[in-house]
Structure 1
């Protein structure tokens, strides 16, 4: 029947589309104008952290700036420019966190989003909803957030929730949609001379490692997923990991074991509270 339809349309000069044509057209528009095959921007003078870099990650509470580390990962919206400058004045680099894949109803720019941008609530985070990463409006908002990072003087950015396609987002996101979006975010960061880290999205590490300067991961040791991140180490790019299990906090031998494994992989691993406040901190370096 499909072949007959094609012949019929051809003979009568009807502008018929086959199912395959429709599928391709829909997929093209679904990517929101982003090219999943765009080349990485690799030439520039932005900060490139080294493998086994020491770091601190705090997104909640009054920021403790006293840790003797090379890199601080802090909230883009909640961290004052003066604090960023002060950290840099003490010889530290500053990476600024923001969510690139979710809507947070407490952010200053929340009113820029439109209803069609917003999907399902994130599991465990009732004040966040997945974003339609194919939306041109979402792309514009993320460019503005990167502009804020540049204006505040951040050395780099950590865009979170970069794996919506593997979650129940409320949208029919594909792996190609995610690749297109993640590569877009990385290149836009580099256009602003900002370092950029890949957050989670383990299934696409090999396709994205060329685009990002480092990786940030949660719980890869807990879920036995850390080897997936080794392409970053192999390219001389650090892997910053955080673990939250109580046994790593309360059991010194468990902590020593995970830290030894982390050092063997040349990872930069922290044992932190899930809320990422400053209530405790253990570093494997």
Structure 2
């Protein structure tokens, strides 16, 4: 799911890759966050030894359908629940690392652990995604479920995680979430993943990059070139942490010269960019790293 830059974007927001189903949908009306105040309980980043993707790594993300395992890439990003341990082992045997995707900010009524949430843990439905609702990230129950998901990723053999929808404070969620609520939650996610030996990425949430770059190992972004937002990701590149970027604009599929120009810009910015279908179903793939 794409994040919203508030108040910098004048265009309508599109949501992408939400709920493991991939694709774009019309976002709920974003809330303008209040000016953040210093967090009096800032935890230090957890230190340790875990998988660290490299700047310039080629990669693939597929969240729906039968995963195409034929790509010679450094890492795959696949759905935590829909991917078997056997698939993860196969990718490892091919020499690829595995990042496991899950939604950390929304309730999805089709997930196997949906019954673990309390009914007051989720609020407004995510526009365009039936059965998906924003979560109250301040809830201890929500955090317990997310801890269990991180432990599932470790048990399955994932090398890292891609927690999505970590920008609820910018949307109409049904909860009074502020900048620091989101920041504390995202830092907790990162530290909890690291305590389990998992790498962790920041999905979109561009407004909090500078506050989170020290906690995250990489960033995954949707359409920063399309929206003119790539400069917000520079702190990751400067910290020698990769930015894995996805673009969905159809011109990059149909126009080879436009795609070549995109890839030149991506190389200049230090981003690992893919052109993919909005549903992230593996129907096609163009990589600027090829």
Q: TM-score, normalised by structure 2?
A: 0.85
**Does 2:83 correspond to 1:71?**
no
Superposition pairs of residues 167-186 of structure 1, within 5 angstroms:
167-186=171-190
Verify: 1:163 aligned to 2:167, yes or no. yes
Distance change >3 Å, CA 281–CA 35, structure 1 → 2: farther
Specify which structure has the bigger relative contact order, considering alpha-carbon pairs within 8 angstroms and separated by 6 or more residues.
2
**Is residue 239 of structure 1 aligned with residue 236 of structure 2?**
no
Matched, 1:253 2:252: no
1:39 aligns with 2:44: yes
The 5 A counterparts of 1:1-285 are: 37-41=42-46, 43-285=47-289
Q: Which runs of 5+ in 2 are unaligned?
A: 1-38
Task: State whether residues 36 and 183 of structure 1, in contact with CA within 8 Å, keep that contact through their aligned partners in structure 2.
Answer: no
Whose helix fraction is larger, Structure 1's or Structure 2's? 1
CA drift of 1:36 comes to 5.0
Q: Is 1:134–1:181's contact at 8 Å kept on the other side of the alignment?
A: yes
**Which consecutive segments of 4 or more residues in structure 1 shift more than 6 A?**
none
Deviation, structure 1 residue 124: 2.2
- Aligned partner of residue 125 in structure 1, secondary structure: coil
Cα deviation digits, residues 141-199 of structure 1 (max 9, x gap):
00000000000000000000000000111111000000000000000000000000000
TM-score by length of 1: 0.87
Q: What is the Cα-based RMSD across aligned positions, in Å?
A: 1.1
Structure showing greater radius of gyration is: 1
Unaligned runs of 5+ in 1: 1-33
Question: Aligned pair count?
Answer: 251
Shift of 1:127: 2.2
